[in-house]
Amino acid sequence: MFDPAATLFPPIAPSRHGMLAVDDLHTIYWEEVGNPDGIPVIFLHGGPGAGLSPQHRRFFDPEQYRVILFDQRGAGKSTPVGECRHNTTQLLIEDIERLRRMFGIEQWLVFGGSWGSTLALAYGEAHPERCLGFVLRGIFLCTQKEIDWFLDGAQWFHPEIHAEFIAPIPAAERGDLLQAYVKRIMSDDPAVHWPAVRAWSRFEGRRVFLLPQPDDTPSDALDLGIGRLESHYMANLGFFSDDQLVRNVSRIAHLPVVIVQGRYDVICPPVSAWRLHQAWTGSVLHLIPDAGHGAMEKGIAQALVTATEQFKRQRRFA
């Protein structure tokens, strides 16, 4: 039974986990949690490149949900870490379908935050018949304006963090920070790419929460996944056409959705959640007044659990 005071369900171990080769290059890690006869749900992590955390299992009642989680190509326990070849949104959608068929699931709830919300929308618009509904957090539509904000808008709220981020880049290259970082991050020389991926990962990580958090223990795998895959996807505009996710929302507008958005999210500002809400008739938007971007900020975590609890009872969101 869920204890509201605890925010999340208790920690739980996977009932099954394994590796799935999706092509000659990539092998993805997957895990299954909860009741094998429960409501199926697919969890889509952020980044791209951030990978899974044991905390991600805890948004769902394990007695009522069958939760499938996986590390996307190049992320977490999937191999090779940080690999950008054969790594596009369309291929990630194919991987989700592979998992659905492997588990024998006809339809599932789609749950994703940040980049996971991007992938959730792209998957839903490609396969609406496979979706029961959506729980989305920290909306990122992967438009040029959002990418420009991520890289340059930071200076308006975190000038010291932005100054640290641009410091290694020569002044002549600062007019296009994305390409300047891509050039370094994709370098074959470890002396060039490691400082760049660490700077990129730190630049994002220090802005996630509304209130400052203790620095996490550095992780080479996380830095490589975040730095390489985020810059790769941003440089390719997520492999979408212009504003594709909003333009095609009619394909999933008949399905229930709850959108959870931190009011002071400086990674994925609330305007994107608002645009999606306006385009999606019947969508439910919860703007959390005392939160930034982090899924584990109390107000956001509570809203996400409330959404999964409502869905298991009513198959809709109040």
Closest listed residue to residue 315, CA positions, set 258, 269, 242, 276: 258
Q: Element (H or E) spanning 118, and its range?
A: helix 115-126
User: In the annotation, is 114 catalytic?
Assistant: yes
Is residue 293 among the annotated active site residues? yes
Q: Cα(144)–Cα(146) distance, rounded to whole angstroms?
A: 5
Q: How far apart are CA 121 and CA 149, in angstroms?
A: 21
Do the Cβ atoms of 229 and 47 come closer than 8 Å?
yes
β-strand partners of 79: 27
- Judge whether 265 counts as a catalytic residue: yes
User: Would you say 292 and 264 are in contact if contact means Cβ atoms under 8 Å apart?
Assistant: yes
Distance CA 242, CA 246 (A): 9
CA distances from 304 to 9, 59, 183, 262 (A): 11, 7, 37, 12
Catalytic residue among 265, 272, 283, 286: 265
Task: Label residues 26-42 b or e (16+ Cβ within 10 Å = b).
Answer: bbbbbbbbbeeebbbbb
Please tell me which residue in 26, 78, 114, 201 is annotated as part of the active site. 114
Strands 27-34 and 16-21: antiparallel
Q: What ranges in 77-114 are assigned the alpha helix state H?
A: 89-102
Active-site residue list: 114, 265, 293
